[in-house]
Structure 1
C-alpha cells in the first residue's frame, strides 16, 4: 500500500514538464524564486497547512500534560475513567492517530512530492535555458562556474522555500501558542518569554549578517583552494616539465592557510553566539520556573499549569539552537539564489524569430549581403561585406590572423547575431530559420576539436543520432581512425568503440582527436561543409589519406575551407582573400599568384607551413 502511495506522490510533479524555454527568468531574488516554485504553489500551501496542524498539536501536547497532571491531582482512581474516559480516549486518539497522520502527510508532501522533483525541475529548466545562450555567453565565463550555478539554484531555491514555509512556520506557530498560553495564565508569566524573544531577535540581527559574510569568506576559501588544486591537476604535465611541484605545494598551502583562517573566524562567531544563547536560555528557564513557583504559591497556577509552562519553555530552549542556524541557512540559501540569478537570468542574445521555420537546403548557395559585425564593440570588423558562393562551389578563405576568416564562418553558423545586413542560404535568411535546422545542414571540422567524455562510438554518432554500428565503423574507416580505435581501452576495461576518451578527449593524441572529429562530420554528411584547419593536427601521411576522403566527401557539397597552409586549399574553385574584414581579392590560386597582391606575398612568405605577418600594421589575433 505504502509503495503504491509513494509512487503516486512521486509522480505528482513532472521534472521535465514542457515550459517556455525562451522566457527569461525575472531579476530579483523573490521573483526569481517564485518563477521556479509557482508551479507547486498548491503543494506549498498544503505543507503550510499540515505544518500548522502538526505544530499546533506539538504545543497542545504540553498543555495536555498540564491537564493530565491536574487531573491526577484532583481525581481519584475510581472516578477518573468514569468521569473523563472519553477525554482521555480523545487525547490518546489525537496523539496516536491524528498526530502521526499529519506528520506523515507533511513529510510525504515535502520528501516525496516537492523536494526531489522541484529541485531537479529547477536544475533542468535552468540548464535548458542556459543552453539557449549564444556562444559569447559561454566564452565570457567558466564552464565550472556556470554548471555550479545551475546545480545550486535548485538546491538553494528549494532549501530557502521549505525552510521558510515548513520549519520557520512550525517555530512561529509553536512560539505563538506558548506566548498565548502564558498570557492567558498570567501577564507576569509572559514577561520572561517576551524579554527572551526580544533578546533572541537582537542576537539574530547581530549574528545572521556576520555569519553570512564569514560563511561567504569560508566558501570563497574552499572554492579558491579547490580551483588551485584542480589547476595543478589539469596542468600536471606542465607542472612536471618545469619541475614546479614545490611551487604548487606552496600555492596550495597558502590557499589552505587562508581558508583555515576564514573557517576559524566563522567558528569563533558561532561559539560566542552559542554561549550567549545558552546563557539566555538558562535565564529564561530559571525566571519562568521562579515565576511559576511564585504564582502557584499564591494560588494563581495549578500544578498542571506549572508543568505545562516548564515543558513549553524547555521546548523553546531546545528549538532556539537549531532555529538560529536555520535562519542563518535561509539567508545563505537566499545569497546562493542571488548568485545563480545574476548568472542565469540574462536575456538570450540570440533567439529564433517568432515565426522561424526549418531551413531547407536544395542546392547550397550562400550569400553575404552588406554584413556588419564587430562583436558588439562598435566600429567594424565587417562593414558592409558582400560575398556570394555558388551552389556546390568549393572556396578557400585566406588571410593573415585577424582578417575575419573564422568570424565569417561563425556568422554563417549564426553563433553570433549580425549587427547589420543578412546571410542567405538558398535564398533563405538564416535569421528567419531555426538555429538547430541551420546547423543541422552544416558540417564543420575545426583545428581544435574537443570530444565529449563519452565513448568513441558516441562521439562519432554525435554527427547523426541513431546511427548503426556499421555506419559508425564506416565513418571511422573513411577518417583513417578505425585501426587505432580498435586498439584503445580505458581504465574500466572497455575497448575499441566503447572506450571512453576522457575530458575533452585528453586520452587521445591531437591527430587521433582530429580523425574522430572528421569521422563525426563524415557521418553527418551535411550539404554544406566547413573545414577550419581540418588537417593541421595530422602528420603528412595521414593527412594525405584524409585529404582523399575529404575530396570524396566534398563532391556535391558547398565547401568553405580555411587553412594557413595554402597548399591544402590551392586546388579549390576559388580563393577569397580577406584582410581586416574586407575582401581584397578573389580568384584561383594561379590567378592570385600572377596578380602579385596580398595572396602572392603570403604564398611566398610561408615558412614551415604557417603564415608570417606580411605588413607591419597587421595585428595577429
Structure 2
C-alpha cells in the first residue's frame, strides 16, 4: 500500500517535460526550443516556476519543520515547570492536556510533517524535477551546431548536464526546506527567549547579526572556488573520457605515458581548486564555532542568573538551554548547507555558461519541411571558408540533375567533404545558396533536410546499442524483416549471428561498444551501409563508403550498392578512383574550385589533373596534396 501511494506522488512531475520543444502533434523536434535564461538567478527561477506547487509545499513544510522543533524544546520547559508544580499522583490530573498535546505533537504532528517533507523531496522533486533540468539542458546542447561539439570534450559537456541538474535541484530544495526551516526556528527561538528574558533575545539577535556577517564576508570565496571546482571536475571528466574513447591510440602510441600526464594535469587542477574551497570552509567553520560558543555562554549565564533571582523558572532555564544547544547544532549543520548552497550556485554558474549558449545554426522562423521528390541539387555561387576569410571554397556553382550519379575527385583538402557537409547544412554558407528541388536548404527544417539524405562516411562510428538499433537508427519504425533485408543487402548477415557481447546478448541484440569498437572497420562499414539502405532516402552521399572493405567484400555488395543508387541522386567521394570511375559525371576539385568535369574516359583524354591522379594512384591510396588544406577540410 505504501509503495502504491509513493508511486502516485512520483507522477506529479513529468521528468521529461519541455513544452517549448513540442510541435503541434506533441512530438519533440528541433526548431521549437526556447533558449534557457543565461543569467544564473533567472535560470534557477525558470525551473522553479515549472514546479511551483511542489516547491511551495516544500516551503510550507520547511517552516513547519522549524516550528515543530521550537515547540518541542519549549514543551520540555513547560513539562519541567509542570513537574515542579505537581506530585507524581496529581501530574496527569493537573496537566493532562499539556502532556496529551506534547505526545500528539511528538508522535503524530512531527511524523506527518517529516513524512510530507520526505515525500515532497524524494518522490515529487527528486528525481523528476532534477531530471527535468538535465533533460532540458541536454536538449539545448543537442540543438547546437556540429562545430560546437568539435570544439569541446564530449565528457565535459556530459558532466555539465549532470552537474546543472543536481546543483539547481539541490540549491532550490535547500533554500526552501533546510534554510527556511532554520530561519523559522531562529525567529521562534528569539520570540520564546524574549518572553523568558529580553536579554536572551538580545544575545540571540547579536548572534544572528554575526552569523549573517560570516555568510556575507566569507562565503563568496567558497562560491568562487566552487565554480572553479565545478569547471575542474568537468575538465577531468572530459580528459578521462577522451582517453578511454581513444584507448587504442593511447595503447599504440603513448609508450611514454604522456596521456597519464595530461589527465594528471586535470586532476591537479581539481585538487588545487578543491583545496582552495576547503580552506575557506575551515575559516567559516572556525568563525561559526567561536560565535556559537559566545552565544551559548551568554544565554546560559543570563538564564542561570535569572533563576537565581527568581525571575526565570526552572522550565524557562531548560527551554532556553535546550533551544540554544539545538541552535548550536543547527547552525553548524546550516553552515554546511550554506556552503553547499554557495558551491551549488557556483556549479550552476559554471554550467549555465555552456547549456544556455544560443545555437549558431538554427532553422529560420518560416522554415518548412523539405519536399524532395526529384533530388535535383544546385550549388549556386557557394562560398565557405570556415570563418577564416579565404580558402576552401569560393563562388562555386554546380548543378546535379535528378537521379544523376556524381563523383567528387581531388586531392585531400580540395573541398570534397566540405561540399557534402554544406549540403547537409552542418555549417551555414558564407555566400551563395544550395537548392534541393528548387528549395533553398537555409529555408527548410534541418530535420527534414537530413531525412532526405542518406550518408555513409569513411569514419563510421556506431552507437553503443544493439546491431538492430544501429541499422534502424534512421528509420526506427522499421519492421524486423526490413532490418534483416538491409543487413543481407549490405553483406552483413554472415557475421551478425556470430556476435556476442559481455552480457550474453547475441546476433542483432548484441551491443557493439562505444563508437562500435567491438566490430572491425569493415563490419562497422557494412552496418552503416545497411542503415542507409534501410533509410532509403532520395539523395545518397557516399564519402569513402567502401574504404574499410576488402576487395572481396566490396565486390560482394557492389551490386547491392548499384541497386541502392537506382533512381537516386548520388554524390560519391572516393580516393580509390576505380570505385567511382563508372559514375555518370566526375567533378574534379582543386583548392575549392571545379577544374575539370566529365566522365572517366573524357577526363583521361583531357590529360589534366584527373589523369594525373589516376596515374599516381597506388595500392588504393592517393598521394596527398596541400597538408594545410587537408587540415581545413
Do both share a fold (TM > 0.5)?
yes
Q: Name the count of aligned residue pairs.
A: 621
1:512-534 superposed Cα distances (whole Å, 9 cap, x missing partner): 11111111111112111100011
1:182 aligned onto 2:189? no
Equivalent in 303, 307, 312 of residue 318 of structure 2:
307
Alpha-carbon contact 2:194-2:201 (below 8 Å) kept: yes
Equivalent in 399, 402, 411 of residue 391 of structure 1:
402
1:514 alignment counterpart: 525
Q: Distance in 1 between matches of 2:462 and 2:376?
A: 30
Within 5 A, what are the aligned runs for 1:397-436?
397-436=408-447
Q: Distance in 2 between matches of 1:284 and 1:230?
A: 50
Q: Distance in 2 between matches of 1:242 and 1:435?
A: 39
Equivalent in 586, 593, 597 of residue 604 of structure 2:
593
1:341 aligned onto 2:381? no
Q: Distance in 2 between matches of 1:339 and 1:404?
A: 37
Alpha-carbon shift at residue 596 of structure 1 (Å): 3.0
Q: Distance in 2 between matches of 1:357 and 1:253?
A: 49
- CA RMSD between the two structures: 2.8
Alpha-carbon contact 1:364-1:426 (below 8 Å) kept: yes
1:504 alignment counterpart: 515
Q: Distance in 2 between matches of 1:616 and 1:132?
A: 32
| Cα 1:104–1:590 shift into 2, 3 Å | same
Alpha-carbon contact 1:37-1:118 (below 8 Å) kept: no
Q: Distance in 1 between matches of 2:461 and 2:300?
A: 71
Alpha-carbon shift at residue 401 of structure 1 (Å): 2.2
* Structure 1 range deviating more: 146-155 or 103-112: 103-112
* Structure 1 range deviating more: 424-433 or 208-217: 208-217
Q: Distance in 2 between matches of 1:110 and 1:312?
A: 27
1:461 alignment counterpart: 472
Q: Distance in 2 between matches of 1:275 and 1:119?
A: 33
Unaligned runs of 5+ in 1: none
Q: Distance in 1 between matches of 2:251 and 2:114?
A: 59
1:487 aligned onto 2:505? no
Q: Distance in 2 between matches of 1:16 and 1:136?
A: 27
Alignment TM-score, normalising by the size of structure 1: 0.92
1:515-556 superposed Cα distances (whole Å, 9 cap, x missing partner): 111111111121111000111111122222232221121111
Q: Distance in 2 between matches of 1:223 and 1:153?
A: 11
Alpha-carbon shift at residue 380 of structure 1 (Å): 5.9
Alpha-carbon contact 2:407-2:585 (below 8 Å) kept: yes
Alpha-carbon contact 2:63-2:180 (below 8 Å) kept: yes
Q: Distance in 2 between matches of 1:396 and 1:251?
A: 42
* Structure 1 range deviating more: 556-565 or 218-227: 218-227
Alpha-carbon contact 1:400-1:579 (below 8 Å) kept: yes
Alpha-carbon contact 1:54-1:102 (below 8 Å) kept: yes
* Structure 1 range deviating more: 222-231 or 571-580: 222-231
Q: Distance in 1 between matches of 2:339 and 2:61?
A: 24
Q: Distance in 2 between matches of 1:18 and 1:257?
A: 38
Alpha-carbon shift at residue 416 of structure 1 (Å): 1.7
1:69 aligned onto 2:77? no
Q: Distance in 2 between matches of 1:147 and 1:252?
A: 17
1:437 alignment counterpart: 448
* Structure 1 range deviating more: 601-610 or 447-456: 601-610
Alpha-carbon contact 2:78-2:315 (below 8 Å) kept: yes
The SS at the match of 2:34 is coil
The SS at the match of 1:356 is coil
Equivalent in 132, 151, 154 of residue 162 of structure 2:
151
| Cα 1:380–1:242 shift into 2, 3 Å | closer
Q: Distance in 1 between matches of 2:254 and 2:367?
A: 56
Alignment TM-score, normalising by the size of structure 2: 0.90
Alpha-carbon shift at residue 240 of structure 1 (Å): 4.6
Alpha-carbon contact 2:58-2:121 (below 8 Å) kept: yes
* Structure 1 range deviating more: 80-89 or 290-299: 80-89
Within 5 A, what are the aligned runs for 1:176-325?
176-205=187-216, 207-212=218-223, 233-241=244-252, 244=255, 270=281, 273-325=284-336
Equivalent in 382, 402, 413 of residue 393 of structure 2:
382
Alpha-carbon contact 1:446-1:533 (below 8 Å) kept: yes
2:17 alignment counterpart: 17
Alpha-carbon shift at residue 64 of structure 1 (Å): 1.9
| Cα 1:337–1:383 shift into 2, 3 Å | same
* Structure 1 range deviating more: 83-92 or 535-544: 83-92
Alpha-carbon shift at residue 129 of structure 1 (Å): 2.1
Alpha-carbon shift at residue 118 of structure 1 (Å): 0.7
1:388-423 superposed Cα distances (whole Å, 9 cap, x missing partner): 111110001122222221111112112222233322
Q: Distance in 2 between matches of 1:270 and 1:340?
A: 22
Q: Distance in 2 between matches of 1:252 and 1:585?
A: 48
* Structure 1 range deviating more: 82-91 or 322-331: 82-91
1:499-520 superposed Cα distances (whole Å, 9 cap, x missing partner): 2211101111111111111111
Alpha-carbon contact 1:529-1:559 (below 8 Å) kept: yes
| Cα 1:223–1:40 shift into 2, 3 Å | closer
Alpha-carbon contact 1:452-1:503 (below 8 Å) kept: yes
Equivalent in 98, 102, 105 of residue 94 of structure 1:
105
Alpha-carbon contact 1:68-1:304 (below 8 Å) kept: yes
The SS at the match of 2:476 is coil
The SS at the match of 1:301 is coil
Q: Distance in 2 between matches of 1:598 and 1:620?
A: 21
* Structure 1 range deviating more: 280-289 or 403-412: 280-289
Q: Distance in 1 between matches of 2:469 and 2:165?
A: 29
1:544 alignment counterpart: 555
Q: Distance in 2 between matches of 1:387 and 1:575?
A: 12
| Cα 1:151–1:618 shift into 2, 3 Å | closer
Q: Distance in 1 between matches of 2:550 and 2:449?
A: 33
Unaligned runs of 5+ in 2: 22-32
Q: Distance in 2 between matches of 1:243 and 1:45?
A: 55
| Cα 1:461–1:258 shift into 2, 3 Å | closer
Q: Distance in 1 between matches of 2:602 and 2:442?
A: 35
